A and B are shown apart, each in its own frame.
Chain A
């Protein structure tokens, strides 16, 4: 099984900060990686698929990059609506799994 890690597990930041979250895979997954945002009591929302494809309607301050085993989600200027938990999700051989999550908190 491919193991996914996310870092940091918690991140404290201020409005306007540039924020970067990292997701690493234990073996190469090409660009089969998605990012989700989840707010308390709500369903996750897909932000980015295939490592860097921004979903329709997602603000351009969100971006994704990476391939192989290392991926990043960047929020260029953190907004009040962005405080949430972020999950990466990978695909490998007809199996899908989520990373452990990164909680972005108000500093």
Chain B
């Protein structure tokens, strides 16, 4: 059964860098038809797509975050990662990793999410 699990620090200071990793079990990150995505949700608010990456290295990012986001895939570890630089309080959110079904253009399997807080 496909499962995704986010990991990373829960608290980072303003202007620092967030680094999250998603570990995939029950599927391969090198599947051709799938991308691997990040979605975030600030407390009490809606969902925001952050970015998606294919194992080939092709990436797509939310234009509003593009200057601060880098994603990567490590197929040997079956993991993919998110780096968000120069964080502010506005980046405080639950961060979800998800399998991005490119054919359906939808996120069909999600991790449980990890709460990330920016605070001094």
Contact = CB atoms under 8 A, between A and B. Distances in A.
Interface of A: 1, 32, 34, 36, 38, 42-46, 49-50, 53, 55, 87, 89, 91, 94-101
A43 B46 contact: no
Interface in B12-57: 37, 39, 46-49, 52
A53 B62 CA distance: 26
Contact of A101 (B46, B105, B106): B46
Contacts of B106: 34, 46, 49-50, 89
Nearest to B60: A94
A32 B113 contact: no
A10 to B, nearest CB: 13
Contacts of B90: none
Given A96-B37, A96-B105, 7 more contacts: A36-B47, A43-B96, A43-B110, A44-B96, A49-B101, A98-B46, A100-B46
B46 A87 contact: yes
B52 A96 contact: yes
Nearest to A96: B49
A34 B105 contact: yes
Contact of A91 (B39, B105, B110): B105
Interface of B: 37, 39, 46-49, 52, 60, 62-63, 96, 98, 101, 104-108, 110-113
Contacts of B107: 34, 36, 44, 46, 89
A49 B104 contact: yes
A95 B61 CA distance: 7
Contact of B105 (A32, A38, A43): A32
A92 B60 CA distance: 12
B110 A50 contact: no
Contacts of B48: 97-98
A38 B60 CA distance: 24
Given A97-B49, A98-B46, A46 B108 contact: yes
A43 B111 contact: yes
B114 to A, nearest CB: 11
Contacts of A53: 104
